[in-house]
Structures are given as C-alpha cells and as structure tokens.
Structure 1
C-alpha cells in the first residue's frame, strides 16, 4: 500500500512539474508576444481590421473647342445604414421622420422604409443598403435627412462613392476622345486617345479614407473625414469642333452605308494651326452597322495610290527638271518597266498631254514617265525630297499606335528596278491618312507644314496650366513658284480633272483623288485584293481655311464605282458645303463709312424739314415713310401708315395748321 502511494506521489509531482513548465512556456510566449513581437502582431491585427481605401480623384473634363463637353466624370453614390450605431432613443426619435424623407427621394412608401429600418435594427445589420447609383444632388439631400444628418457614428449613415466616365456626345469621335483604364482580366493599364495621352493632367491625385472591418467581411468608414482628400484633375480643351465633327461623322457614315464599305475615316484640320476640328473612324460590324473602331486615320499605314502623286509634281518642279507645260505621251495607257506594266484607269490612255494635265487626270503613265525619266539615274534625289518633307517618319502625335510610314531607300534589299516607277503612282510606299493630310495642308498653308494638334490647352477652371502652340514641322516645303503652280493644278483637279463631279460655283475646293489597290500581291494570310478610295485637299481654294482627307476601304465593287472622286469625294464636298452654308457668317462688313448719294439726299431733305419751326403740315410726298413718321410725331401728331416705301399721299394737306394729337394717315408707295 505504501509503495502504491509513493507511485501516486511521483505521478502527482510529474504532472505538477509539467504544468509548471507549461505555465512558464505560456508566460514566456505571452511576454514574447507582448514585448518582443508585440508591434508586429498589433500591426497585423490593424491591417486585418483597419485599412486605407483609395478614393479615386475626379478626372478632369475634356471639352471641345466650342466649349461642348466631350468627356466628364460623374460621381455615383451608394448610401448604407449601420443600424447599431444610433442610440435607441435617437433611433426611435428620428426613424419615422427619416422614412418620410426617404419616400420623397426614392421610389418606395414611408411605411416600407420604417419597416426595413426597424428590421435592420433588430438584426443588428451594420451595412443595410438604402440606395445606390445616386447623383450628387440626391446624395446631398439624403445626407441631410433626420438621423443621417447626425453623421456616421451617431446617425449610422455610410456613404460609398465611385466615379463613372461619361461621353455626352455618345459614340461620335469615341476613339479620339479615348479611354484610360485597367484591364480587369490582365491588370495591365490600357488606353486610347486624348484620355490616355493626357492622363497625367486629367487623372488628378487619389485620396484615402480609413475603414474598419465589420461583420460579414464588410468595411465601414472610421470617421466622417478623409485621411487624404482627392485632388481633381485638370480640364483638357481639345481642338474638336462639335459642329464640324457632326458634319464629318454623318457624311462619312452615309457614304459607307451607301457603298457597303468595310471601313473608312475622315479628318478635317484647320490650315494655319493644324488643329484637328473633326475626326471620324468607322468600321463595319457583323450586322452591317458602323461604329468607332480602330483610329484608322492615325494607325493605318498603307499604300496611298494617286494622292501620292503630289510628291512627284512638287519634286519635279522644285528640281526644275520639267515644267507643268511639258508634254508626255500616255502611250495608249500602258508603259512597261522591267517587264511589268503601269496602266491608266482610262482605257486607251489620254494621248499627248502636259504634265499638269496628266496630274489633273491622274494619269499613271504620265506621272511615272516624268519621275522615271528624271530620277532613274539618281533615285536618291527623289527619295531625299520625300525625307525632307518628313513623310518617312511619324508625326510624333501624343497618341500611341501611330502607324509608321515606309519609304524605300536605294540600296535596300527591297529596292528593285520597278521601285521608283511604282512609287510615282503611290505604290511600294506606305503612309497614314494623317501624314498625307499634313503634307497637303502644307500646300494650303503657304508651304508651312504644321503638326496636327488635338489639344489646345490644359486648364484649371479659368486658369491656363499649359498651352499648346502651333508646332512647325517644316517652315518651307517648296519655293513660292512651285507652290503657286501646285495650288493651281490642285484647283484644276476639281474644276476640270478627276474631281470635276465635285465642282461647285458656290464654293471653291482644291485637292486630289486617289484609288489604290490594296493587297494587289495577294499575300498569303491576308484578304483578297480590294480598293481604297480617297480624296484629300483643302477649301476654299483661294484662301484655304480647312484641309480634309477622306479614305474609304473596300467599297462594294458590284456597283462598278470605286474611284476616289465617286466614293470619297462626295464626303469631302458635303463637309465643305455644310461648313460654308450652315455655319454663321463671320465675314466683316467693309466700307461702313462710305456714303451713298441717294441716302444723303433723303437725309438732307429730312433734316431740312425737321429743323424748321413748323406751324403747318409739311409736304411729305416723296419722303421715306420712316422719316415722315419721325417728323410728324415730333410735331405732336398721331400717324397711321398704309403700305411701304415713300409717301404717296397724306390725309391732311400741306399748309394745314398743326393741331396737337391730330391723326394723319400716310399712304406709302
């Protein structure tokens, strides 16, 4: 028995020692947690229950040149209710008033809201949804309702805010206005257009708000004020004119629909400044409708066709190797180089014509002969002209994705015997519509090539933060003599050349048609051959204010009408016509001070009669009606008038004594 008791005592001692050691370990661990690793665990606990949330700053607005809103940030608000926050007496005091107030703004009766609020209170719901997608005005109104006006802690109101980007003019110019966002699938920043290019100005600086984690993984603001208030972005003033943009968009859309084309673009630019007043890029959807897709005007670099012939003419005239009057034989509409044929679109050619006439008729054979004859021994001289005009490099626009031009160089692996003649009618080279427009605009702008601009300034309210001045790419693309001849020929293209269908006696235009075969080589992996129709030029021809390019890809050839003058030209004409017939006149009235003899005689007669101290009715016959009325009313008479013009008869004869307030009737011729 004694031995058993002894064993039991050992066990008790062993358990006691174990418990003692455990206690020591616990004390050590607690001490370690409290004093050694305390800061780490306190920080970890805080991170899991208290966190800073980003408050996105409101983006700046994008405005058109005429002050219309193109893009803006609209705040959306969500109101929730922490039903545990208010004290019982406070809740009971204001719940009915709050319910009545909610009925005035939201779409449910007061009884519904009182029932739901009490239910949330009973269930200790700390995140009950009151309303979402509220405007700022609605949010401010609800925030001022009874109970909610006591704030987050006493009134239980929880406010969530998000910002939504809206384009008030809809899909028009959407690709140019653009977007800047994070792709939710990849987490990569993506963007297009002005929104992306000027994001550093538009985005502003985000704020921060501290929130605490509550039940069901929900987060509630800790205090009414933000940790860091967001700073709104600056406003961007674009060069887009909504009036011209609307004209350009619908003119292009109509033509794409009529010709069932694949896609197209149009750009209208202010000649002297390079300000892009309108840009539209429309592609065809599967259902046949058209919408803003790729920014073709900036991104699509392709062989331009005959619009490139301006390069030929300007180079030849600058080098004085031929004049516009030099005659070339179109040789029946076919010339051959290294076994390959260059053909005119007109079967049989144009006979013998001058260089100027060949350009006006867009003769491939004439322009190719002119270039090849003068540059075959030194093609670098011709190519160097192209390089001096900047057509071998991008324009350096703010937008990403600008298409890169391609101009072959003598000695390159792709250079061959046919390269130079093919370049002469717009093949073996590649440029974007915007690059072509900049070149033609230099002709309209007295030889000064300017960079296309989409934004004129950055503003904070009425304060200008940054202004974008006119940027000159090339101060003189050619001599004044060359410029004069080139402008005359471009005007004749519309008057009596390939663009003659566009001619109007009401407003002058100048430009060049173009019809290019795309994928004429039938390269594997690409679509079959199709046509791209274009027209580029400026208006008015004598004093250019706007330049414009129109490109339409893959018009339906079933109509056997795919030429630039027929497909793209009408869009150009429609834009010019609408601008000059619908826009308010800004012409100044000249010679305001010049005198008109008949008016002077009439005025002298009135002055003579008016200055008399009359006691009798004067002879008014032949006096303008308005003068007669003024004269008689100054004499104290009442006047009635029949007809318009000059006084023919008067009811009271001349010489009759004047009697105040007497009525006299005048009959006007």
Structure 2
C-alpha cells in the first residue's frame, strides 16, 4: 500500500513539475510577445483592422486644337449577384420582376434569367455575373430593379467599378493619342503617344485614406492627419485639328484600299509653328481591313528614295558648284559607278537637261552626276551638309520609339565607292517620314526648321500650366538665293514635272514625288522586293500654310502603277483640296461701303422710277446677274435665273410692257 502511495506521489510531483514548466513557458512566451515581438503583432493586428486605402486621382483629358475631346476617363461598371444574401421570401417575391427587367435591358427571355438566378441560389453562388462593361446610366438603371433596390445585404447586388480610358473619335489617330499601361504578360510599362509622353501631367497624384474594419466586412474611414486628398491630372491640349485629321485619315484609307497596300502614313503640319494638325498610320490586317497599328510616321526609318533629292539640290546650290541652269547629259538613262548601274525610271533617259529640269523629272542619272562629279574628291563636304541640317539625329520627339536615322560618313565600315552616288537618289540612307517632312517644311517656312509639336499647352480648367512654344531646330538652313530657286523648282514639279497629274489651277501646291525600291536584296515570297511610294510638299505654294507627307508601302504592282505621283500624290491633293474648299472662310471684307464706278454706272443708267411709270422692260444684256436681279425686283418683277455670270438672254424682250409680279427668266453666261 505504501508502495502505491509512493508511486502516486511521484506522479503528482511529475505533473506538478510539468505544469510548473508549462507555466514558465507561457510566461516566457507572453513576455516575448509583449516585449520582444510586441511591435510586430501590434502592427499585424492594426493591418487587419486598420488599412490605408488609395483614393485614385482623376486622369486629365486630351483635347484637340479645336476643343474636341480625344481621350477621357469614364467609369465602367460590373454587376454581380450574391445569391445567398436575400431572404427566401424576398428572393421568391422579386425573382420574376427582376428577370423581366433584365430581359428588357439585355434582350434575353425572362425565363433565361429566372433559371440562371435560381441555379445560382441553388449552387450557393455568391458571385454570379449579371453584366459587365456598363455605363453609369445602365448601372443606375439596374441598381433600381426589383430585389437589387434592396441593397447589397438584402438584395445581393454586388457593384464593381473601374475607370477606363476612351477615345471619343474612335480609332482615328489612335497611335498618336496613344496609351499608357502595364503589360500583364511581362509586367513592363508600355505605351506610346501623348498618353505616355505626358503621363506626368495627365495622371495626377493618388490620395490615401485610413479606414478601420467594422462588422460584416465593412470599412469605416478614420479621419486623421494621415489623410491625403488626390490631386487630379491636368488636361493636355494637342495640336491635332479634328477636321483636318478626318480628311487625312479617310484620304489615306481610300488609297490604301484602292492599291491593296500593306501600310502607310500621312502627316499634316502647320508650316510656321510645326504644330502637327493631322497624323494617320494605317496597317493592313489579315482580313484586308486597315487600322492604327504602328506610328509609322515617327517610328519607321527607311530609305526615302527620290524625296531625298532635295538634299542634293540644296547642297549643290549652297556650295555654288552648279546652278539650276547647269546642263547634264542623262546618257540614255543609265550611268555606271564601280560596275553598278544607276537608271532613270524613264527608258532612254531625258537627253541633255538642266539641273532644275532633272530634279523636276526626278532623273536619277542627272542628280547622281551632279552630286558625284562635285563631291567625289571630298564626300565629307556633302555629308556634313546633311549633318548640319540635323538629318543624322532623331528629332527628339516626346514619343517612345522614334526611329533612328542612318547617314553614312566617309571612314565608316559601310562606306564604299558607290555610297555617295547611291545617297544622291535616296539609297544607303535611312530617315523617318517625320524627318523628311521637317526638312521640306523648312523650305516652306522660309528656311527656318522647326521641331514638330503634338501638344500646345497643359491646362488646369481654364488656367494654363505650361505652354509649348515653337522650337527652332535650325534658324536658317540655306541662303535666300538658294531658297528662292528651290521653291520655284518644287512648284514646277507639280506644274510640269513628275507631279503634273496633281496640278490644279484652283489652288497651288509644291513638292516632290518619291518611288523607292524596298528590300531590293530580298527573295521571292514575303521578303521580296516591293515599292514605297511617297509625296512630300506644302500648300499653297506662294504662301505656305501647311506641309504634308504621304508614304504608302507595298502597293499592289499588278495594277501597273506604283509611282509616288500616282499612289501617294492623290492623298496629298485631296487633303489640300478639302482644306481649302470645305474649311469656312475667315477672310475679312475690307471697305464694304466702297463703290466700284463700273458697277455704279451699269446700275444708275437705268431710271427705275421712269421704268415703273412706263412699265417697260429694260435691256439687261451684258449686265452682271446680281445687278439685273436687284433692278428687276425694284420694278416689282419676279426673277428666275439660269446659270452664273452676266445676262445673255432675257425671256421678256426690252421695251415690252409688264405688269406687277410678272415673271422674267434670265439666262446668264
């Protein structure tokens, strides 16, 4: 018995020791939690009950130069249904009216929604999708439907909102307006265009607010000194003119469709300021439709072909090594350098012609001889002109992905005996369409080269935050004498040169055609040789208001026409024509009250009061139509007019009697 008691005592001592050790461990742990890890656990508890929430800033809008909205942020709503939230009686009472309402909005049968909602409730689905991508108007309408109008806890409606960026004018100029986002696949920031380039102004700064978790998963704001209000983004005013943009976009689109081309671009720039008024970049999809794919005008650096010949002419005239009247022999349309032939597009060449005429006809042989003969002993002199004009550097545009130019220089590994002559007709060099346009625009702008601008100012409501003034790249690209000669030659290209099909007596244009062979070392198939057709110039020729470039890549050669004047030229002409015929006139009428003696005599020689008394029709032949109408209406006659100009014939002969309201028909010349 004593032995058993002893064993029991040992067990009791053992249990007591264990409990004592546990107590010590608990005390140690509590001490550790309180003093050693206390900060960590207090922070963790606070994170689970108190949290900072981001208050997103409103992103600024992008406007066109005429005030049209190009990009804006709008709320986008998604509605889901927590099928377990409503009570059974409410669900049964309102499921049919709710289904009827949804059927009206979304066009599906009411029975479909009844089945879906009952199935969701049966499956205890707490996140059933009702609709997504809803506007604010649709969201407010659905929010008021039966059952949903009871709210989140009684009606089960779940509302999720996000802000999406919209372009009100659609796909037009989409790549220039651009975007700014994170690629979900790589997590890398991507973006091009105004949206990305000016994001520091557009995005604003997010705010933050501290909230405390309360019952049923809700969060209550805690107002304290840590609260930061969001700062909305500024608005960006672009240089784009929606009227000109629409003209340029559709003119390019029509030509790409007609020639089944691969892609193309067009840019219209205001001559004096460098403001880009329109830019369109269209690429062909597999189904044959065209849409904005890449900003070709800014990003695509390629061999320009004959539009580069303006460099030749300006350098030659500036150095006075030849003049526009200097005669060159086209040698039946073929000249050779180091065993390689330079050919004219016209078989047999152009005979002996002046440098100016060779440029107007876009003669490769004439322009190559003019450059090679005068610079072969010192090619650096010619190349340095190109560098001084900035064609070897990017324009430094705000956009991401600007194409890099390639201008070889003597001493480079790529330089060879044929480099100089090939540069003379636009090969072995590479520039972007925007660079080419900037160079031609300097001629239109009296020698001042300005940087292309896509944004004119940053605004906060009506307050200007920052203004982007015209930026001069080169104050004078050449002398006045050279400029005068170049302008005359560029105008003659349209009047009697390769661009003569574009000539119109109604409005003047000046420019240069270009037809470049692309991938001329390629093989058959997708990489085979193709053409890039271009036209670059300005209008009106005498007082340039706009400069413009059009480039069309890979026109269908089965149409037997791929030359710049035929493929790209009509786009240029259409733009110039539409701007000056459709745009409202802003010309002011001076001296409105002044009288023209000839018109006064023509009108005053008729004695209206005498004619009213005698009721005799006057002789109107040769009188301007408007004057004749005024005269007859003063005699209380009714007039019908056929044609325009001066009176050729009148239905009631001179000297005949008339009665009040007699109708007289005038035929005008």
With 169-178 and 349-358 compared, the bigger mean Cα shift is at: 169-178
Structure 1 residue 585: Cα displacement:
2.1
Q: Which residue of 1 aligns with 2:476?
A: 476
* Matches for 1:60-459 after TM superposition, within 5 Å: 60-77=60-77, 133-136=133-136, 160-208=160-208, 220-223=218-221, 227-459=227-459
CA distance in 2, matches of 1:486, 1:355: 11
Deviation at 1:522, TM superposition (A): 3.5
Does the C-alpha gap of structure 1 residues 641 and 152 become closer, same or farther in structure 2, counting only changes over 3 Å? same
The Cα shift of 1:261 comes to 1.5
CA distance in 2, matches of 1:15, 1:574: 102
Report the Cα distance in structure 1 between the residues aligned to 2:118 and 2:358, rounded to whole angstroms: 88
Judging changes above 3 Å, is the alpha-carbon distance between structure 1 residues 119 and 333 closer, same or farther for their aligned structure 2 residues? closer
Shift of 1:84: 12
TM-score using structure 1 length: 0.82
- CA contact under 8 A between 1:211 and 1:220: conserved in structure 2? no
Name structure 1 gaps, 5 residues minimum: 610-616, 632-639, 654-663
- Report the CA distance between 1:296 and its aligned residue: 0.9
1:498 maps to 498
1:283-325 Cα deviation digits (max 9, x unpaired): 1212222211111111111111111000111111111111101
Inter-CA distance 643–403: structure 2 relative to 1 (3 Å threshold): closer
Which string of whole-angstrom CA distances, capped at 9 and with x for unpartnered residues, describes residues 15-36 of structure 1? 0121122123223323432444
CA positional deviation for 1:425: 0.7
Q: Deviations over 1:612-648 (max 9, x none)?
A: xxxxx989989999899999xxxxxxxx8655799x9
Which residue number corresponds to residue 621 of structure 2? Answer: none
Relative to structure 1, the CA distance from residue 225 to residue 5 in structure 2 (aligned partners, 3 Å threshold; closer, same or farther) is: closer
- Whole-angstrom CA distance in 2 between matches of 1:188 and 1:220: 34
CA contact (8 A) 1:356 1:489 kept: yes
Give the conservation status (yes or no) of the 8 Å contact 1:511–1:536: yes
User: 1:152–1:224: 8 Å Cα contact kept in structure 2?
Assistant: no
Shift of 1:113: 12
Cα deviation, 1:310-344, whole Å, max 9, x if unaligned, reads: 01111111111111011100011111112221111
Which residue in the other structure is 2:645 paired with?
none
Instruction: Determine the C-alpha separation between the residues in 2 that align with 1:477 and 1:515.
Output: 25
Paired positions, count: 636
What SS class does the counterpart of residue 466 from structure 1 fall into? strand
Question: Taking structure 1 as reference, are residues 380 and 210 closer, same or farther at Cα in structure 2, changes over 3 Å only?
Answer: same
Partner of 2:30: 30
Task: Provide Cα deviations, 1:417-454, integer angstroms capped at 9, x if missing partner.
Answer: 21111111111111111000000011111111111111
Contact residue 625 and residue 668 of structure 1 kept, 8 A: no
Matched-pair contact (CA < 8 Å) for 1:266–1:279: yes
Q: 1:417 to 1:641 in 2, by over 3 A?
A: closer
Task: Give the secondary-structure state (helix, strand or coil) at the position aligned to 1:406.
Answer: coil
Q: CA deviation at 1:267?
A: 0.8
Q: Could you say what secondary structure the match of 1:232 adopts?
A: coil
The corresponding residue for 2:537 is 537
Q: Map 1:571-590 onto structure 2 (within 5 A).
A: 571-590=571-590
Which string of whole-angstrom CA distances, capped at 9 and with x for unpartnered residues, describes residues 362-417 of structure 1? Answer: 11111111111111111111111111111111111000111111111112222222
> Structure 1 residues 153 and 201 mapped into 2: Cα distance closer, same or farther (>3 Å)?
farther
CA drift of 1:122 comes to 14
What is the DSSP-based 3-state SS (H/G/I as helix, E as strand, rest coil) of the residue aligned with 1:571?
A: helix
Name 2:623's counterpart in structure 1: none
* Counterparts in 2 of 1:523 and 1:456: CA distance versus 1, 3 Å: farther
Structure 2 gaps, min length 5: 619-627, 642-649, 665-669
Stretch of structure 1 that moved more, 152-161 or 368-377: 152-161
3-state SS of 2:521 partner = coil
Q: Does 1:592 align with 2:592?
A: yes
Query: Which residue in the other structure is 1:507 paired with?
Result: 507
Aligned partner of 2:43 in structure 1 is: 43
Partners of 2:344 and 2:365 within 8 A in 1? yes
Distance (whole Å) between structure 2 residues aligned to residue 324 and residue 553 of structure 1: 32
For 1:456 and 1:51, the matched residues in 2 are separated by 42
Distance 1:665 1:605 in 2: 22
Contact 1:152/1:223 (<8 A) preserved: no
Mapped contact 1:56–1:162 kept (Cα < 8 A)? no
* 1:512 match: secondary structure: strand
3-state SS, counterpart of residue 67 of structure 1: coil
Asked if the contact 2:214–2:220 (Cα under 8 Å) also holds between the matched residues in 1, the reply is no
Which SS does the other structure have where 1:493 is aligned?
A: helix
Give the match for residue 569 of structure 1.
569
* Counterpart contact for 1:209–1:221, Cα < 8 Å: no
| Whole-angstrom distance in 2 between the partners of 1:236 and 1:668 | 60
Please say if residues 360 and 489 of structure 1, whose CA atoms lie closer than 8 Å, have aligned partners that are also in contact: yes
Aligned equivalents of 1:292 and 1:55: distance in 2?
34
Query: How far apart, in 1, do the equivalents of 2:494 and 2:464 lie?
Result: 42
Closer/same/farther in 2, CA of residues 113 and 514 from structure 1, 3 Å limit: closer
Deviation at 1:224, TM superposition (A): 9.8
| Structure 1 CA distance for aligned equivalents of residues 228 and 146 of structure 2 | 28
Q: Look up the SS of the partner of 1:332 in the other structure.
A: helix
